[in-house]
Amino acid sequence: MAIKLRQRQKMSTVLRYKLIVGGASILGMMAYLTIVMNTASVDETKAARRDLMANDPINNGEIVAGFSWDINPVTKADVGPNAMIASTNAECIEGGTDSTYGLSAGNNMKDIDMVIKPSEGLNSDGLDISIDFKRMEESGNFYTRGKTFNFGMKDGKLCIKYKLTAPNGKSYDVNETTAYEIPQDNQFRNYRFLYTPSTGKGEVMVDRTTIWTNQGVQQSRLTWKTGEDIIIGQGMNGGGKPVAIFDNLLVRKTGSSNNSPMELLSFTAEMQGNQIMLNWFTAKENGTDYYKIERSTDTKNYTEVGRVKAAGQSIDLKAYALLDTKPSLGVTYYRLGLTNNTAKSVWVPVIAFRVKPEMLNIAAPGTENTQNPATSPTSSLLLNNQGK
């Protein structure tokens, strides 16, 4: 009887051991499944977010600039132009939206100040600017461009400023600090400014909920000096804490207004003899006065090559040309500007052209220079304004 009892106790001990081991295995499997399911859930969330942004019902316009800040350097873009420069303390670190990386100002109290050179897309008549932001300070700007455009935060409240030019050529400013106070709760939210030229409507949204609107004149266009740089994180340092405060910047085009000063079809350069012919074609002109071409060797300092009288008002194909009779060796950057009755100066994208010595019939170093283009006459103008 004592033996049976000991056997029963032994069996009970073995059973308890098996139950403990079995229970531990089940718990381990549950933990594994939980991790896998949570990971899948996060991946699905990320995928859903990407799909949402790719198929946005509010605006499905072309993305012209995008930064996910998932990998250093912070100046590297996912879409569109890379940034030129940012604070040396700015970095991509963990803690972004959906457990991804995000943009941090670092811990030295220096503002992010990430500078982007405007591209053709960023000069659009209408834009949709979306950014994820976590508030760590009282004031600062998400997206700034010169003195005419700013989307950001003032004393904890969302603020927006932009300039519009109406079809009649008159410009007016929209400048307002909204009633929405950004929560300081260590949470990312999506903040968005959307302006649509066809409707003239401007909106500010938080997590896709509209918190502010302005109804402007239809077919009005956003107006700025097209050469002005864009600054991300101006006045933003995250309170001096090394935490991610920005993530997922997306900028889209929302269409063009009918009163754009000019619709450019092409702008090209080609060698003709030892001179450079610059050609451009327009499909529409709205009050254009004249065109001018400037050149640079460093994209910073430009000098004027010459000017061409424009058609003024036109909905027909127009062809223009300007001859640069004194090209420089190496890479030269040309930009086409215009003046019209709704904007003092508008610039379109820069093109580059490389000139080699043999293209100018210049002898190699140490030999006689048989032809020197510097002795050529000053730049001359060619104009075919009939589209022939």
Each domain of the chain, given as residue ranges in start order, spans 54-253, 262-384
pLDDT of residue 378: 31
Provide mean pLDDT across the span 32-60.
42
322 pLDDT more than 90: yes
Provide mean pLDDT across the span 173-190.
95
Q: How confident is the model at residue 98 (pLDDT cuts 50, 70, 90)?
A: confident
66 pLDDT more than 80: yes
- The class (CATH top level) of 262-384 is mainly beta
To 5 degrees, how large is the angle CA 290–CA 295–CA 300? Answer: 115
Per the prediction, the chain carries an average pLDDT of: 79
369 pLDDT more than 70: no
375 pLDDT more than 80: no
Q: How confident is the model at residue 170 (pLDDT cuts 50, 70, 90)?
A: confident
Give yes or no for a contact between 332 and 352, defined as CB atoms under 8 angstroms apart.
yes
Provide mean pLDDT across the span 161-168.
92
Q: Which of 252, 250, 233, 251 is nearest to 91 (CA)?
A: 233
Give yes or no for a contact between 311 and 318, defined as CB atoms under 8 angstroms apart.
yes
pLDDT of residue 159: 98
CA distance 94 to 103: 9
Q: How confident is the model at residue 323 (pLDDT cuts 50, 70, 90)?
A: very high
Q: How confident is the model at residue 324 (pLDDT cuts 50, 70, 90)?
A: very high
Lowest average pLDDT, out of 19-23, 61-65, 85-89, goes to 19-23
Q: What CATH number was assigned to the domain covering residues 54-253?
A: 2.60.120.200
CA distances from 126 to 186, 197, 260, 315, 370 (A): 32, 6, 11, 21, 53
Q: Which of 303, 224, 318, 307 is nearest to 262 (CA)?
A: 318
Give yes or no for a contact between 266 and 281, defined as CB atoms under 8 angstroms apart.
yes
Provide mean pLDDT across the span 96-121.
93
pLDDT of residue 287: 78
- 129's tokens: 């600017």
What is this structure's pTM?
Answer: 0.60
* Share above pLDDT 90 across residues of the chain, in percent, rounded to a whole number: 52
Q: How confident is the model at residue 376 (pLDDT cuts 50, 70, 90)?
A: very low
Provide mean pLDDT across the span 88-98.
94
Lowest average pLDDT, out of 11-20, 60-69, 115-124, goes to 11-20
* Share above pLDDT 70 across residues of the chain, in percent, rounded to a whole number: 74
371 pLDDT more than 50: no
Q: How confident is the model at residue 362 (pLDDT cuts 50, 70, 90)?
A: low
Q: Which of 219, 29, 245 is nearest to 142 (CA)?
A: 245
pLDDT of residue 42: 35
Higher pLDDT, 57 or 20: 57
pLDDT of residue 60: 61
Q: Which of 278, 290, 149 is nearest to 225 (CA)?
A: 149
